[in-house]
Amino acid sequence: MPNQVPKIEDLLDSVSDELDFHHHGSGKDQLEDTVTDTDKLTFPKLLDFSFPDEITTENMAQVGEVTYVGDGVVHISGLDKATIDEIIEIKTRSGVQKALILGVTEKRVESVVLGDYTVIKRGDQAKTTGASLQVPVGKGLLGRVINSLGEPMDGLGPIKSKTKRLVEFPAPGVMDRQPVVEGLRTGIGAIDSLIPIGRGQRELIIGDRKTGKTRTMLDLISNQKGKGIYCIYVGISMQAAKAKTTLKLLSERGALEYTSLVIALADDPPSLQYLAPYVGAAIGEYYMYSGKHAVIIYDDLSKQAKAYRQVSLLLKRSPGRDAYPGDIFFLHSRLLERASRMHDRFGGGSLTALPIAETQSGDVSDYIITNLMSITDGHIYLDANLMHEGVLPAIDSGTSVSRIGSKVQTKLLAKVGELVGRTLSRYNEVKSFETINTEVAEDTIRDIKRGKRIKEILSQKSSLSLGEDETVVLLGIATSNRMDHLELEHATTFKENIIPFYRNGNNDELKRLAVEAKKMEEIDQLLDELFLAFSKEYKLPILDRSSTT
């Protein structure tokens, strides 16, 4: 028989019988057990559930509207929950543009566009993201060039790094650090002997335009090869041609395998120029917090200050001295304080900061220069007059200073550095006598000749990297009376050939003592033997040392 549809009367009867069973039998207890909390809801409770006092806004974005756009600055209304340093996204006809919030008022938020502001129009929609600016970090950036947003600029494809760090990050606390007692060997004799730099230190590099500041720092990066130190070079407001030259130079020297570059070009918006140093600091912090050692070059912070001044004036903030905003000191202090030597319980890593700043006609009392001097642990001054004399690097030892000093030097390196400083100081006092047509004491003539000789020897080729022992040998001979009988051209021969001669000879004992000895007397005999052998090899005049003091 075909299936028949049950009649409605039969269904009602079956339901009635079921209810009777539960009412008269044990099923009543089972029915009471199945009553839920929802069945006991009262009407007031239902209202509370439907209309809660607080609505969760987590993972919800606010949407606002662009009310002003101009010169890279955007004002947006309707984002009353937005915070400073938050990234917002602006929907334009050409796609989504990102902006960074730098100011919040009751009626609007003030932000700078991180890209092309010309595509943004008044009335465009903007929404919050709840996120701060982050950039990729790690070893995937070695040998790569990125911009201030962490995007590659070298045409080598995407950055192969899954790790990211915040661009703005608080500096380590005092108890998280340890004293700077380990040296950063720059390979530059004048710096390692006169103005030593320690790992975790902040040393300012100042000088007029075209005095070799960038050259000296690129030499320092090149000299870190094989020392386990990662380097970050930050170029701020750079010409594209200079950026290409810098990249090519580091590539030819084999330095890209441990170096990352962050470049903000001169035609980039001022917001990207202002952010570039913080991006570099984030990359360096990755190594520091991983227990490794890194050095970062900011080239240069006076250009970053000008970019931030431009942004602040566009945001209509009150100008102060030289039209800089009131927080210009904080701009650099919060950046440079991120460099430190971490305590051993946090891995013992370090980040050494070497900011560059440009002086005008040798004026070291400039507003930005004095700010940076008060933040850093010393400064190296490159003198234009020395550069014109052919001394490179043109380091003025009298104006330069390191607040770390001999704590990061070996005993003999500190001793020869002291002798070099004293010799140059004496030379600067008496060099004017050379032009006076009068009788000059023999000791004064000796001091003038010795000072000239030291200046010549401190002038170092970019291709030469000096070790600790080599600096001690070179300057230990130059500052003694071993060369007093030689002319200046002999000093040039000595400078160009003594290091290869020393490296190729059997000088293992001298190499060991130059690092471990406590007094110069311990290596005097070995230096005498080395210099005598060198003089015979290169046919320099030989003086009988037994008849001199």
Catalytic annotation, residues: 403
CB distance 302 to 359 below 8 Å: no
Which residue in this structure is represented by tokens 């003030």? 110
62: Cβ–Cβ under 8 A, 6 or more apart, which residues?
78, 79, 80, 81, 82, 127, 128
Rg (CA), the chain: 35
What is the pairing mode between strands 73-77 and 109-113? antiparallel
Torsion sign (Cα): 127, 130, 133, 139: negative
Which residue in this structure is represented by tokens 């030499």? 219
| Amino acid identity, position 34 | T
For residue 201, the number of C-alpha atoms closer than 13 Å in the C-beta half-sphere is 25
CB distance 167 to 279 below 8 Å: yes
Q: Which of 500, 501, 484, 488 is nearest to 536 (CA)?
A: 501
Tokens of 12: 């009602």
344: Cβ–Cβ under 8 A, 6 or more apart, which residues?
178
| Amino acid identity, position 325 | P
CB distance 62 to 130 below 8 Å: no
CB distance 345 to 303 below 8 Å: no
In this structure, the chain runs to a length of: 549
